[in-house]
A and B are shown apart, each in its own frame.
Chain A
Amino acid sequence: DGGITQSPKYLFRKEGQNVTLSCEQNLNHDAMYWYRQDPGQGLRLIYYSQIVNDFQKGDIAEGYSVSREKKESFPLTVTSAQKNPTAFYLCASSIARGPYEQYFGPGTRLTVT
């Protein structure tokens, strides 16, 4: 089965801790994205990567970091500097950079208390 996976589905952390969200795809896509979704809101872009070892900040990158060491993997770290980290996080991929259809993972709901 080809697809994009995120783990875990639910994640709970104490304030002040860093946490890493996993995103893996076996679609052989070059581009990968991280979005944040708050209740009743649309998606806001955190980071995106068009190619291995390269990534760019999106609209709300502060308090987040990413890496792209392998084509298949694009983990997102939510650092203690992120002021309001509780949210639903979605990872997506597309075949290449550009206005292509994006394939989404099932999401990770992060709760920080």
Chain B
Amino acid sequence: GESVGLHLPTLSVQEGDNSIINCAYSNSASDYFIWYKQESGKGPQFIIDIRSNMDKRQGQRVTVLLNKTVKHLSLQIAATQPGDSAVYFCAENEGQAGTALIFGKGTTLSVSS
């Protein structure tokens, strides 16, 4: 389950700021993690993934950090834009490769200009 104090259901930032969204995962055996962005009326959109043999991975304006010791995942968004406003979910792969994704509680990111 979620670790109290790590997960914020909402995050409000100003355009141009950097955003950090946190997630605690539940299963120490999970070996694959994904961040999704979900806009209103849409399905989750893949942002970035990371495997358990890594602790950091960078994409375009996004960075994912994985701390297996405390079972914590974070998504950093650089120079946040109004178009980044959405609900963000972390998901862990539990069990054999390619089966169920277990989703965390979402964080609603609001970006004001």
B partners with A: no
Interface residues of B (CB under 8 A from A): none
